[in-house]
Structure 1
Amino acid sequence: MTSLFIKSIKFLVGGAFIVVLLIALYGSVRGVIKEPPAETAEHAMHKHPEELKLASDGPFGKFDRAQLQRGFLVYKDVCSTCHSLNLVSFRNLKDLGYSEAEVKKIAKDWGTKQPVFDEKGGTWGERDNVPSDRFPKVYYPGTGTPPDLSLITKARHDGAAYVHSLLTGYDKKPSAEALAKFPEFAKTPDGMHFNPYFANLNIAMPPPLTQDGQVQYSDGTRATVDQMSKDVSAFLVWTAEPTLETRRQAGFAVLGFLIFAAFLTYGAYRSVWAGVKH
């Protein structure tokens, strides 16, 4: 009798809990339908990244080495003064087609040198970079350090498309309809730059790609702002996953082995149980 009473209490408590949840859910849904949340400026003006097709897209995609080299030049000449690439070593550039001598020269000529520390951990000097070094960090004491770009295409939704859209989105202004709703965005705050692809619309980074020919390509490709943006976006896809091609090849090899093993297993099954009646 006592056991039955305890079970009844449990069912009543559980049922009451479910009823309370349903009432709360009904109230929330009813409130959203009757009084939907006010549209924010970010929602009205924010744009989704434009589609960007790269040679590395898709399961069979491969890196375009020529494009990656162009993208590296854009990073070196434009982006490296502010943004680090600290998860990539200079010697990794050999994967892009650079020779060992070229990698050594790139490392030695790099603008930011490697700090040299004393026994107490203090810095007492600098030395040239060598191929085994990672790209040195960029510091801005007191003003904040811009984000490292090593994994930026992994850290942002839409990856390379986001980077490309952000770099080319500075000239896009809010529509007249959006400004009528949010007149405070008619004037961009001092030290900020309007960019509809950035999360809160105003970004502290000035437009890095400002004119065609800002970088000199050696392969004859015309260095338009759009082309430079695409190239550096492709390069940052590579920095985020330099072993992309190897990983895909290994995946296809494993998949092929599993399919072959499945056929072997089925053949063994038919052979072993061929004379057995069910």
Structure 2
Amino acid sequence: MVRLVGMAVGLVVVFVLAWGFLVPRDAVEPDPIKQLHKHPREVSFAHSGVFGTFDRAQLQRGFQIYKEVCSGCHGMYHLHYRDLQKIGFSPEEVKAIAAEYEVPAIDPNTGEAITRPALPTDKFYRPFPNETAARAANNNAYPPDLSLIVKARPNGEAYVYSLLTGYGEEPPAGFEVPEGLNYNPYFHSVNIAMVQPLMDDQVQYADGTPATLDQMAKDVTAFLRWASEPELEVRRRTGVAALIFLAILSGLAYISYRKVWAGVKH
């Protein structure tokens, strides 16, 4: 009896597998969002490649874009103001930049909550005290922290650059953009809550560089790349030095091997 039941179950399984293999599947309609979504465009920077280094002037321009345009909604919670010295700002300039912001503090005399000018040792100013407040001010969209945004997204630099410059493209005929959203084919759902953040001549660069949309997008992308990995140049130099050392060591080891075994006959 058990054997018959086992055979029956096996036949049922074989029948189901054969049915699934032979019967054609229903045609699956392509996802219109996936058809509209575009892969990031290629973009190169001074720091691209193994021997690339950050352009300090570009990083300072990128910080200016973040400060004047992005910081109203996006925070950079992993950076301190003192970190700006690494991109060429003097200690006095860093103090002046930090002092433009008020940060929470405690009055040492009364113990009451107060605010004070930020110091170079403070972290970057938070535009919103918490996520709830951020969503309330942005149509329920939560502006992400930009400290690690380049490393948090696939093809990070190309993605950020393409996203910032992708607002000019019009949606195809028949595609309706939901109210309160904006069409951007480089965003994963092609509909993004953030309005176009950059436009030509939106800022005035101190070094006289023309503030075109493309230039500003590259500058702030480079700054965000540095922010996500400030030690990039040190790591690259260390890696190249280690490879050179290993190459020399391998050559010396091979020469020693040939010398030690030179008189030994096989």
Kindly report which structure 2 residues correspond to 1:84-123, keeping only aligned pairs within 5 A, or say none: 84-110=75-101, 113-117=102-106
Stretches of structure 2 lacking an aligned partner (at least 5 in a row) = 1-9, 136-141
Match of residue 173, structure 1, among 163, 170, 187: 170
Match of residue 181, structure 2, among 192, 212, 218: 192
C-alpha change, 1:253 and 1:83, in structure 2 (3 Å) is same
Amino acid at match of 1:71: G
Which residue does 1:233 correspond to in 2?
221
Does residue 207 in structure 1 map to residue 196 in structure 2?
yes
CA positional deviation for 1:199: 0.9
Which residue does 1:276 correspond to in 2?
264
CA deviation vs aligned residue, 1:11-41 (integer Å, no higher than 9, x gap): xxxxx9xxx89x969957x78x854532112
Residue 141 of structure 1 aligns to a residue whose secondary structure is helix
| RMSD of aligned Cα (Å) | 2.6
Kindly report which structure 2 residues correspond to 1:240-251, keeping only aligned pairs within 5 A, or say none: 240-251=228-239
Does residue 132 in structure 1 map to residue 109 in structure 2?
no
CA positional deviation for 1:125: 1.7
Which residue does 1:73 correspond to in 2?
64
CA positional deviation for 1:141: 3.5
Which residue does 1:161 correspond to in 2?
158
TM-score for the superposition, normalised by structure 2: 0.83
CA deviation vs aligned residue, 1:168-191 (integer Å, no higher than 9, x gap): 212211223xx3xxxxx32x2222
Structure 2 Cα separation of the partners of residues 168 and 84 of structure 1: 21
Which residue does 1:10 correspond to in 2?
none
Structure 2 Cα separation of the partners of residues 123 and 169 of structure 1: 47
C-alpha change, 1:36 and 1:263, in structure 2 (3 Å) is farther
Residue 217 of structure 1 aligns to a residue whose secondary structure is coil
C-alpha change, 1:193 and 1:103, in structure 2 (3 Å) is same
Q: How many residues align?
A: 244
CA deviation vs aligned residue, 1:83-137 (integer Å, no higher than 9, x gap): 0111111111111111110011011113xx3222589xx9812221111112122
Which residue does 1:182 correspond to in 2?
none
Structure 2 Cα separation of the partners of residues 84 and 142 of structure 1: 13
Amino acid at match of 2:189: N
C-alpha change, 1:118 and 1:109, in structure 2 (3 Å) is closer
- Matched residues, percent identical? 50
Structure 2 Cα separation of the partners of residues 230 and 26 of structure 1: 55
CA contact (8 A) 1:115 1:123 kept: no
Amino acid at match of 2:126: K
Which residue does 1:59 correspond to in 2?
50
CA deviation vs aligned residue, 1:121-168 (integer Å, no higher than 9, x gap): x98122211111121223263453411001111111111111111112
Which residue does 1:7 correspond to in 2?
none
CA positional deviation for 1:67: 0.8
Structure 1 Cα separation of the partners of residues 106 and 91 of structure 2: 27
CA positional deviation for 1:49: 1.2
CA positional deviation for 1:240: 0.6
Which residue does 2:29 correspond to in 1?
38
